[in-house]
Structure 1
Amino acid sequence: MNPIRADFDARTIVVYQAYGPAIARPAIAAKRFVPPFSRTRMTWIKPSFLWLMERSNWGQKSGQEHILAVRISRAGWEEALAAGVLTSRDPRVDKDPEAWQARFEAAAVHIQWDPERSLRGATLNHNSIQVGLSRHIIDRFVDAWTVDITDLTPLVRKIHGHLKAGQEARAKALLPPERPYPLPPALARTLGATA
């Protein structure tokens, strides 16, 4: 199962990223990505909060100490998804391996599905989407799509503190809301997603 679950409203969707202080602090202050953020390398955005918590070890990994909620336009999100090619060929989506390989190598956006995580990091039986934005589209992300950047690091520390203290209900109550994101059926098919 590949549903997209996210925190979104009528116009925007929240994606999460983890950075070290050199990139995160200027971005938080400016409410957009500014140098030393690089526009020449791929950046990955994820709508799953708990997937990023697993990846960053609750903001404790080196270079991932700050957890950012990046609010982008839904139009931008769907533009990225429409430009995306799966990192692993799905025979239901791409029947011809060579055609998929050519599309993948030319793609401005890479789409990857990974097992979703529970509050305690256990693998769940459904997947979570990651969207890799290449240098060919990253200017759109920075200049056109990003609406706001919020520092979630204090919240992350609070949730993690509750978990370490065995207070799972308190931790769960503080999680950002996520619900199924409605995708146009044609787009869902090309992503191997559940519409």
Structure 2
Amino acid sequence: MPAKAGDFWQQQWTVPGEAESNNLIIRPIRESDKARFFHSYMTSQKWLYRKLGWAWPSEKSTLEQNSTMVDYHLEQAEQKTAFTYVVLDKSDNSIIGAVYMVPVASERQENSGISKSAYNAEVSWWLLESAVDNNLHNDLFALLTRWLGESWPWRQVMFPVSEDNATALQLLESSKARYIGRNLDTREKYFSYAISRK
């Protein structure tokens, strides 16, 4: 059954497995990723904390906290309430980022006047500073948007981005995504992305 506006997930839908480009693989996070995932984002901790605006990752983050977080992501995926994917660099199979697909937060409408029912999901991501330095953000965005069109059932998603994340903002502003508003308190900008079907 096709997605209706506001639908995050219907039980009869199949969750996409992975996507691949010349340089990257996006695949579901696994329990066996826990240690690699933690050590990956902690190599860019200060940079990610400053850019993402998520109050994460903290310099005090621990392996135990990370394990709890990954368990939560795995539980969400099993219940189909949200989906977390890791981004792998094909050259060495290292984890260099993550992609998150979650229902649109209710506070978007309350704080920014954005209609929650107009979107199927929020999509956000992070990449290590070294990956951005190597321009892999361009590869990731191209792969992600292609994958949304080819494999996901949604019609329209929202990209929330911190005003401090200049790389992501530049990507979105130069793409077919449309700016729809901002939250002055959280310093986030929001972009609407209509998914083209292949």
TM-score, normalised by the number of residues in structure 2: 0.25
Structure with higher RCO (Cα < 8 A, 6+ apart): 1
TM-score, normalised by the number of residues in structure 1: 0.25
